[in-house]
């Protein structure tokens, strides 16, 4: 039995944040009915890299049922209202106020069904002067200061994945699980709100604390750590190795056992982590001289033997063949309308909990069967299809 078997989630979703939240619910067995506009979730058209399909859509929408409704039409709204009458959870990430204008205000839905759990995902939250601003992932990265701490000293760089959307989706998912647990105990649902801005702001708390209590904005150090050294990429004879020296004990082992450079361990400029950070340029110059004697393979053996954390700076192609993923059987196949796709299993593993990886749906694949299940007659479904209310 899957943990969320029997749970019905109706999701008026698009792009990344809400689909990421509901896909995780689907992984655990929830029935996720994905409501798409007639032209489909626009994430379907982000790219054409996976057998001609969007990599975003394939990643985010397995194990769901696609139902196409035109909510601007009376028939489409009637269909959604009937689906919501039997839903446990309603998720939506339309523009602020859009569901209210369509006649699905959260307050009214929950007044009719207090057991319903609703989750509204927005850019900046349902209030404040920025409520209606457009809020794409890169814009949220800018506004929360993420770009100010990411990149080189000369150039700020956005994170290369949809980190704000992912943060919002993670908090929506955990919030829904919390609300389900609360409902089990009280019988009552609740209305959840998650903003991408608030979600990423939480992840920015540590640099925010630094700025508040030092009066100085954190600097950018590329792939190097802001407050720990040596912690970052260092060149060796035939490549680069990422080091992570966390304390003074490790620093001395690194100097003595890895580099065979006891003078570095006793250099007053590098006596403590704070000293090493203060003299970062000198430290990097010294390490470049010592580390250039070794190949990646040689220094990795030395680092592992000394118990110093290290990593290879992989490309995505290298990552696909990572020995740890292969050894732990982390890859599986998922069916899509264009053929099977290799994908990763959910990250939480347990011998006691099962997950599912069912197909990615074609646009409107389940419209007719779902409407029939929710007591629409063949005649009604045909009329809605002819009117453009459903497809």
Residue range 29-68, pLDDT digits in tens: 999 999 999 999 999 999 999 999 999 999 999 999 999 9
Q: Give the pLDDT mean for 286-302.
A: 92
pLDDT in tens, 217-240: 999 989 999 889 999 999 999 989
HEC-encoded secondary structure of 30-49: CEEEEEECCCCCHHHHCCCC
Distance CA 72, CA 67 (A): 15
Average pLDDT of the chain is 95
Share of the chain above pLDDT 90, in %: 94
- 280 band by pLDDT with thresholds 50, 70 and 90: very high
Q: For residue 386, what are the β-bridge partners?
A: none
Burial class of residue 265, CB neighbours in 10 A (0-12, 13-18, 19+): middle
What is the pLDDT at residue 161? Answer: 96
CA distances from 38 to 6, 72, 115, 364 (A): 28, 11, 30, 8
Q: Give the pLDDT mean for 76-88.
A: 97
Distance of CA 93 to the CA centre of its chain: 15
What is the pLDDT at residue 313? Answer: 86
Active site members: 225
Reported residue count of the chain is 391
pLDDT in tens, 111-145: 999 999 999 999 999 999 999 999 999 999 999 99
Share of the chain above pLDDT 70, in %: 100
pLDDT over 90 (residue 361): yes
What is the pLDDT at residue 312? Answer: 87
Q: Model's pTM, two decimal places?
A: 0.92
Which domains, from first to last, does the chain contain?
8-204+327-387 (3.40.50.10540), 231-312 (3.30.1540.10)
| Residues contacting residue 95 through CB under 8 Å, at least 6 positions apart | 122, 132
Distance CA 231, CA 239 (A): 17
Cβ atoms of 232 and 292 within 8 Å: the answer is no
Q: Give the pLDDT mean for 384-390.
A: 94
Q: For residue 235, what are the β-bridge partners?
A: 240
């Amino acid at each position: 039995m899957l943990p969320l078997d029997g749970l019905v989630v109706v999701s008026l979703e698009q792009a990344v944040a809400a689909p990421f939240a509901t896909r995780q619910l689907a992984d655990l067995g929830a029935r996720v009915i994905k409501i798409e506009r007639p032209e489909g979730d626009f994430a379907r058209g982000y790219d054409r890299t996976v057998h001609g399909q969007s990599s975003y859509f394939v990643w985010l929408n397995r194990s769901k049922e696609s139902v196409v409704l035109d909510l601007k039409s009376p028939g489409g709204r009637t269909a959604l209202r009937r689906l919501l009458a039997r839903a446990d959870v309603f998720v939506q990430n339309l523009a602020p106020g859009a569901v209210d204008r369509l006649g699905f205000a959260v307050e009214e839905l929950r007044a009719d069904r207090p057991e319903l759990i609703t989750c509204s995902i927005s850019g900046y939250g349902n209030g404040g002067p920025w409520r209606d601003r457009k809020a794409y992932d890169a814009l949220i990265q800018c506004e929360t200061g993420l770009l100010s701490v990411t990149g080189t000293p000369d150039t700020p760089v956005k994170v290369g994945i949809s980190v704000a959307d992912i943060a919002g989706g993670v908090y929506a998912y955990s919030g829904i699980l919390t609300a389900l647990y609360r409902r089990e105990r009280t019988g009552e649902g609740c209305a959840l709100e998650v903003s991408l801005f608030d979600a990423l702001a939480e992840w920015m708390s540590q640099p925010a604390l630094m700025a508040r209590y030092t009066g100085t904005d954190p600097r950018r150090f590329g792939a190097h750590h802001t407050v720990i050294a040596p912690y970052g990429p260092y060149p060796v004879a035939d490549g680069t190795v990422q080091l992570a020296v966390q304390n003074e004990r490790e620093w001395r082992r690194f100097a003595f056992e890895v580099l065979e450079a006891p003078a570095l361990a006793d250099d007053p400029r590098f006596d403590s982590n704070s000293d090493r950070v203060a003299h970062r340029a000198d430290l990097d110059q010294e390490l470049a001289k010592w580390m250039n004697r070794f190949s990646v393979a040689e220094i990795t053996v030395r680092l592992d033997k000394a118990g110093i954390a290290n990593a290879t700076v992989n490309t995505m192609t290298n990552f696909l063949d990572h020995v740890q993923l292969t050894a732990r059987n982390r890859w599986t196949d998922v069916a899509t309308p264009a053929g099977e796709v290799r994908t990763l299993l959910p990250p939480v593993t347990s011998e006691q909990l099962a997950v599912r990886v069912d197909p990615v749906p074609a646009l409107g694949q389940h419209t007719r069967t779902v409407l029939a299940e929710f007591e629409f007659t063949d005649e009604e479904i045909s009329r809605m299809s002819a009117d453009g209310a459903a497809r």
